[in-house]
Structure 1
Amino acid sequence: MSRSEAADLVVAARTRLGLSWSEIADEIGAPVVWTTAALLGQHPMTAEQAGQVCRLLTLDETVAESLQLQPARGIDPALMSDPTIYRFTEALSVYGPALKALIHEEFGDGIMSAINFRVDVSRRPDPEGDRVVVTFDGKFLDYKW
């Protein structure tokens, strides 16, 4: 079974059972954003994690096997036009050069790792409408020659 087919089954089972991504993450003891990305096909899970998820979602062993496969990371180009995903692209298009300049000013010549990386999403109440807070937390990797 392909990772995308497994992801579709996970999404359908989660919806059918009325479970949140957070509840699934709690079940396997992993961060919610990582868990969601893994179940959508972007990270391999351990056999134990995949088994726990499949038992929780009443999915069979073929799904668990697929969740353990090494993924081809990235996004379907068709999804880039999704409004939520596009806004991240737009924000990085506008603020990316400034973030790069500020990282270089603060840390020197290097990059933020997306491998040694954490990401979190939270809600912050605001009188003008709740705010979405996305935190990228990546290890600084300096360029060494």
Structure 2
Amino acid sequence: MDRAEVTELVLSAKRMKGLTWKDIHEKVSVSTSPIVVTAALLGQMRLEPNEAAKAAELFGLPEEAQILLTEIPYRGSLTEIPPTDPLIYRFYELVMVYGTTWKELIQEEFGDGIMSAIDFDMTMERQPDQKGDRVKLQMSGKFLSYKRY
């Protein structure tokens, strides 16, 4: 069994049980964000052993799948660049259009370095709007300076 197979088992069980990611988060973890739990179940993060046990019970996963949920995954599984899914492509488009601007503004404020995707928080919320609801994403990553040798 590999991590992609576990993800397929999770998605199948989610579909068959009529669960939402919010439902799943509430049953799997009270201490980890819903974004991290979802990412873990989609193969991009890992769960703590107690969370993996709850997920395995919820989805009826075999023991090997439960163990795989706790292992460090191979991250960044986009197989097509640019991505072809329209929603994911819009994030790619944001980086293509605003990436150089974000880089300039961050480095002007902080210096030569990067924003961590490891020491990182993200929230997502729905913002009602009379012209059509909006998606609000907030990202916060630790600034890491480049070191000179």
**Which TM-score applies when normalising by structure 2?**
0.90
Q: Does residue 1:87 correspond to 2:90, yes or no? A: yes
Report matched runs for 1:32-71 at 5 Å.
32-71=34-73
2:121 alignment partner in structure 1: 118
Alpha-carbon shift at residue 106 of structure 1 (Å): 1.6
Q: Counterparts of 2:77 and 2:59 in 1: how far apart (Å)? A: 25
Alpha-carbon shift at residue 124 of structure 1 (Å): 0.7
Structure 1's unaligned 5+ residue stretches are none
Alpha-carbon shift at residue 101 of structure 1 (Å): 1.0
For 2:17, give the aligned amino acid: L
* Residues matched between the structures, number: 145
3-state SS of 1:81 partner: coil
Structure 2's unaligned 5+ residue stretches are none
Cα 1:76–1:104 shift into 2, 3 Å: closer
Q: Does residue 1:127 correspond to 2:130, yes or no? A: yes
2:9 alignment partner in structure 1: 9
Q: Deviations over 1:57-95 (max 9, x none)?
A: 222212202212221111232481111111100011001
2:107 alignment partner in structure 1: 104
Alpha-carbon shift at residue 15 of structure 1 (Å): 1.6
Q: Counterparts of 2:144 and 2:2 in 1: how far apart (Å)? A: 33
Alpha-carbon shift at residue 97 of structure 1 (Å): 0.7
2:78 alignment partner in structure 1: 76
2:25 alignment partner in structure 1: 25
Conserved? CA contact 1:3–1:69, under 8 Å: no
For 2:113, give the aligned amino acid: G
CA RMSD of aligned residues (A): 1.4
